[in-house]
Amino acid sequence: MSHEKVDTALNADVPLVSVVVPSYNHAKHISKAIDSVLGQSFSNFELLISDDHSPDNSWEVISSFTDRRIRTFRQERNLGPVGNLVFLIRQARGKYIALLNSDDAWYPSKLGKQVVILDAQPELGACFTWADLVDGSGREISGPEAIWNDVFRQANRTQGEWLKHFFLKGNCICHPSMLARKEVFETLGYYNPGLRQLPDFDMWIRLVKHFPIHVIQENLVAHLRDGNNTSAVSPENSARNLTELVEIFGSFFESLSDEVFIDGFSEYFRLKDVSMTSSRLEAEKFFLLLDSAFVQPSGKAAALSLFIKRCADPDFERVLRDEYMFSVFDFYRITGQTGFGHFLMAAHSASIPAVTSLEGASTSSQGHVVYFLKRVVRRLRRALQRINA
């Protein structure tokens, strides 16, 4: 249950845009976020804010705003970031839905420029913008984080080219820059609450399978990067990233038209200059997952799962064997040398350096696993940073 606070004199006309702001424990930032929405040059919007049972004084700050376009909700129990966002989208009345994180801010012309684009191009599912990455003082980030300053400054692409970029390089779209048609969520479904690290990445993949998108090549969002974001690099977040990517890669090519798949990936096909039958396309998806996903362990795990599900199909097995020279025995060799089974065996047998204190002394199986996983995390950290933007 949640408690809603709304001005009863709110204009009954349906707003064109619903701006949703999921809030949690950001009392020191939420005022700036709300002010940046109220300060937009475009004004035909409703602003929905849901405080997710914050332990700080966020609710008091939110309640201090009296603009008639604001509708506020206070959750009686913590829904989590994705659950809170989905709650807000379900309340939205507008034709378009815009998201702003409670620690980010928009520049004044952001909404207006995006509405012009979506109104003029009804085939688009969503419009995004470039973003400035800023620190807690609102200054452009510097130091090690500065390598991400250009992550969101992307060119426009076809649907297939977007999928190729996501597959080979990871996420590059700034979540709080989104303006999407509400029908996108009605068609695709909402964000998956089982994904803590990558719900937006999963949504963009599903989005571009069905709708073209547009990116305004102008910095219209100030996106906070202070090391405390959900995407901050840590062993726990890295482990969740790997697990979530297995699921994302496992469904990456599902519900995808042959036309969009060929447009995005044909240059990487193993078979050239032949007609692409259904089984050949399935084979190409298998090899792409096996060899090319930007985080290899997760992509390879998804490839092994795909093969097991498909290999009972005689035509798929025949095409792999006769045209790609890949048999079930090649698959057995791979599963004996890679995948989660291989990692668990390696973890169990990994040697641990001698320790000199009782505090660090652990020769148990659990100690082997922890030691091995720490090594894995260190090796993968650079690759994982691509999806943490």
Q: 377 and 322: one domain? A: yes
* Residue 319 falls inside a structural domain: yes
Q: 245 and 279: one domain? A: yes
Q: 171 and 284: one domain? A: no
Question: For position 189, what pLDDT does the model report?
Answer: 97
Cα-to-chain-centroid distance, residue 217: 20
Q: Rounded CA gap, 55 and 72, in Å? A: 17
Torsion (CA) 249, 255, 261, 263 in degrees, nearest 10: -130
* Residue 233 falls inside a structural domain: no
**Where do the H-state alpha helices sit in the chain?**
30-38, 58-63, 81-91, 110-120, 159-169, 182-188, 199-210, 235-250, 258-265, 278-291, 296-310, 314-323, 328-337, 339-349, 365-384
Q: 207 and 250: one domain? A: no
Among 206, 228, 250, the domain boundary falls at 228
Q: 49 and 126: one domain? A: yes
Q: 56 and 178: one domain? A: yes
10-residue stretch averages of pLDDT, the chain, 389 residues long: 51 86 96 98 98 96 97 96 97 98 97 98 98 84 72 96 97 97 97 95 98 98 74 76 94 97 97 95 97 92 94 95 96 83 59 38 42 52 53
Question: For position 358, what pLDDT does the model report?
Answer: 32
Question: For position 10, what pLDDT does the model report?
Answer: 46
Q: 124 and 264: one domain? A: no
Q: 245 and 118: one domain? A: no
Q: 269 and 338: one domain? A: yes
Q: Rounded CA gap, 228 and 322, in Å? A: 52
The label of the residue with tokens 């003082």 reads: 137
Q: 168 and 295: one domain? A: no
Q: 79 and 151: one domain? A: yes
Question: For position 369, what pLDDT does the model report?
Answer: 44
Question: For position 95, what pLDDT does the model report?
Answer: 98
* Residue 234 falls inside a structural domain: no
* Residue 26 falls inside a structural domain: yes
DSSP class of residue 56?
Answer: S
Question: For position 197, what pLDDT does the model report?
Answer: 93
* Residue 54 falls inside a structural domain: yes
Among 228, 255, 281, the domain boundary falls at 228
The CATH number of the domain holding residue 50 is 3.90.550.10
Q: 222 and 248: one domain? A: no
- Name the domain count of the chain: 2
3 state DSSP class of 274: coil
Among 228, 259, 276, the domain boundary falls at 228
pTM of the model: 0.85
**What is the domain extent for residue 310?**
241-387
Question: For position 139, what pLDDT does the model report?
Answer: 80
* Residue 235 falls inside a structural domain: no
Q: Rounded CA gap, 206 and 163, in Å? A: 9
